[in-house]
Amino acid sequence: MEEENRYNAVPFSIVGFFVTDRDPEESIRNDVTPEELEKLQELIGRFLFKEDIRVVLYPSVVPPESAGDVVKELEDLIFGEGEE
Q: Where are the domains of the chain?
A: 1-84
Q: For the chain of 84 residues, list the mean pLDDT of each consecutive stretch of 10.
A: 74 74 82 91 92 81 76 75 52
Phi, psi (5° rounding) for residue 16?
Answer: -170, -170
Helix ranges restricted to H, 1-84? 34-48, 67-79
| pLDDT score recorded for residue 15 | 64
d(CA 24, CA 19): 9
d(CA 45, CA 12): 12
